[in-house]
Structure 1
Amino acid sequence: MIDFIVIVASIEPFWDFTSLNPFVWKGLEFYPKYKKGKLIGFESDYKGLRVMLYYERIEVSNSLHKFYKGNNYSRFSYSELEKTIEIICKKFDIEARFWEIKKMEFGFVIVTPKPAVEYLNFFFQYKGNDFEKMKDKKTEYGRKCYMYAYALKVYAKSLQTKIMDNVVIPDDNLRIEFYYNEKRKLPKAIKTLNDLLDREKFKELFNELYQAFTIVVYKDEVDHSNSTNEERLLFYASLNPDFLRFEEKINKGAVKTIKSKIKQLRERFLKKKFKLWFLKSLKTKYIDLYCS
């Protein structure tokens, strides 16, 4: 469900901001935090959550899933998310409606018939942008498509946990995420933690994720029967990300027409077996977590 998050709330200053002395607040030890040699606030850790106190606001960030479960690869249901929000609000004595969401990751894990890593290449493009490789040094563990204010991510959770946490989990766990990098991209109904506690509003997160993945171009099985040689050449050329970039340089006036032809060919040639299975799996998993 909700993994990484950044939330902020207004507070009344209660310490001397010119002092560099550590202090204890809400049972947490806070230490001065500097940027380029200048004091910017005070930092603490609350069970893996990063807590920053600025002059008139508090900022909490990191994984809600990991905070509540101790890891971010186990099952994390909607009811557990509700309890997590309740704990945070009680800890800092700030109501959910006053916590503004700045950034957030929404997603979940689906179980694949084969190892999840074998499905990464199925994710090709979103709104004309290629899915790029997610790497840690030389190990590829996922695919991502970054837009200006948000991103779509798909990765083999087993590879990620092995790399990041040195933990082994089943290799059939495929993690799907919609990452909101800016608050303006969040669904209109979702602005505060309190909105996440409203089940009708919460559904908007899944609707946006689901709709985004319905328009992803998947490298599914190909059926190019009754096609011409020219059509096949154009179709396979379009699978090379450099093809359209090169055409835009030397044949810019015709690119719009070429793109239109490519879209038509993909509709004809690409089977939708994987896409249909994948979208159905998203719905099934969401219902499972949302209703528990």
Structure 2
Amino acid sequence: MSYDTINFQYQIKKLPYHFKVLKNEPYLWRGLSWQPVINNQGYLSYYYTYINNLKLVLKYDKIYLKNSLQKFYMNNNYQSFSYSQVVKAFERLNKLLPFNVYEAIVTKVAIGIVFEENAEKTYGEWLYYQGKSPMQMQDKNKVYGAKFHLTDYYIKGYNKTFQVKSKDNFSLNKPYFRYEIEAKTKFFNNKTNNIGIENVADLINEEKYNKLCNMLIDRYKMIQTTTIIDYSECNLKEKKLIAYMENPIIKKSVQNQHTESFKKDRITYNKLVKVKSNNNFQNIILNKITNQVNYSLKN
């Protein structure tokens, strides 16, 4: 499992005078060249600088940092990224920042894995997640993935080979699939997940890292995929239930007009599919996700 996009912030206690008076000039601070940005009204809005791919923005007395931690450390975000490498990445970053990175407040983070697989077939079998249909992910008028948009988080699956070629102009020469969860910290800290991600130090806490890995697996299991069912083993009532739950128009109608019945039917349907379905391809995908997560934990 890797931390890809990270967003965190830190309040500077002793701000240099140059920033306090908002001088419209570049300023060298802690080995970093900070550039001023002027807004449309002609006032200085903020300063910014880069550490490799990571963008740092200084606004008033707060520094905001975002972009891919894995790219910062490995110059790419398509290889395996282990727990020990995550620890080393933050150690390296801490030496370059003008503050203690482990005390920074995490606001958003993306966790995920990449493995060799046919991306279109994988996300193409996604039907629903918590009652929501997937949205298309597009780049340059090409559909390259699917995502579920929920309160405070996204679940994404996409063609990593295409994305790397499109954004970095680099050919991987093999079909790679990326599965990730991108979320605000409130998602990781809700009653269901209860992981406790507040600051960067929590991201390298072994127990919490383990919980994040398990959540990545568990959430994939919650994605409803194309079912392959031997209908000869189903009775008439079960066949009718499957037929209406897999017809999006009828399903939506029942959900809107018969809410309580729909809730009961969905529970029955999920249990039925779990027992009757046999999607070997998605079982292979889940095994690959589990293997990648285990590699990250053990290395």
Q: Same fold (TM over 0.5)?
A: yes
1:95 is matched with: 100
2:297 is matched with: 290
2:34 to 26, 30, 33: 30
- How many residues get paired? 289
2:81 is matched with: 76
Structure 2 residue ranges without an equivalent (≥5): 190-194
Distance 1:191 1:134 in 2: 30
1:109 is matched with: 114
State whether residues 79 and 114 of structure 2, in contact with CA within 8 Å, keep that contact through their aligned partners in structure 1.
no
How far is 1:223 from its partner?
2.0
How far is 1:260 from its partner?
4.1
1:152 is matched with: 155
How far is 1:53 from its partner?
0.9
Q: Structure 2 vs 1, CA of residues 154 and 10 (structure 1 numbering), >3 Å: closer, same or farther?
A: same
1:176 to 174, 179, 186: 179
State whether residues 156 and 171 of structure 1, in contact with CA within 8 Å, keep that contact through their aligned partners in structure 2.
no
Structure 1 residue ranges without an equivalent (≥5): none
SS at match of 1:146: strand
How far is 1:107 from its partner?
0.8
* Corresponding letter in the other structure for 1:173: Y
State whether residues 30 and 43 of structure 1, in contact with CA within 8 Å, keep that contact through their aligned partners in structure 2.
yes
TM-score by length of 2: 0.86
How far is 1:257 from its partner?
4.3
State whether residues 134 and 144 of structure 1, in contact with CA within 8 Å, keep that contact through their aligned partners in structure 2.
yes
TM-score by length of 1: 0.88
**C-alpha distance after superposition, 1:49-107 (max 9, x if no partner):** 11111221111110111111222223322222212111211112422431111110011
* Corresponding letter in the other structure for 1:146: H
Q: Structure 2 vs 1, CA of residues 258 and 289 (structure 1 numbering), >3 Å: closer, same or farther?
A: closer
How far is 1:258 from its partner?
4.1
* Corresponding letter in the other structure for 2:213: F
**Mapping of residues 188-267 of structure 1, within 5 Å:** 188-227=195-234, 231-232=238-239, 234-252=241-259, 254-267=261-274
**C-alpha distance after superposition, 1:147-186 (max 9, x if no partner):** 1001111112112212222221143321110111x22122
1:45 is matched with: 50
1:59 is matched with: 64
2:9 is matched with: 8
What's the % identity of the aligned pairs?
24
State whether residues 210 and 279 of structure 1, in contact with CA within 8 Å, keep that contact through their aligned partners in structure 2.
yes
Distance 2:235 2:90 in 1: 58
Distance 1:264 1:189 in 2: 31
State whether residues 5 and 61 of structure 1, in contact with CA within 8 Å, keep that contact through their aligned partners in structure 2.
yes
How far is 1:35 from its partner?
5.1
Aligned-pair RMSD on alpha carbons? 2.4
State whether residues 185 and 197 of structure 2, in contact with CA within 8 Å, keep that contact through their aligned partners in structure 1.
no
State whether residues 7 and 66 of structure 2, in contact with CA within 8 Å, keep that contact through their aligned partners in structure 1.
yes
Q: Structure 2 vs 1, CA of residues 129 and 60 (structure 1 numbering), >3 Å: closer, same or farther?
A: same
Distance 2:139 2:249 in 1: 24
Distance 1:289 1:170 in 2: 24
Distance 1:32 1:244 in 2: 54
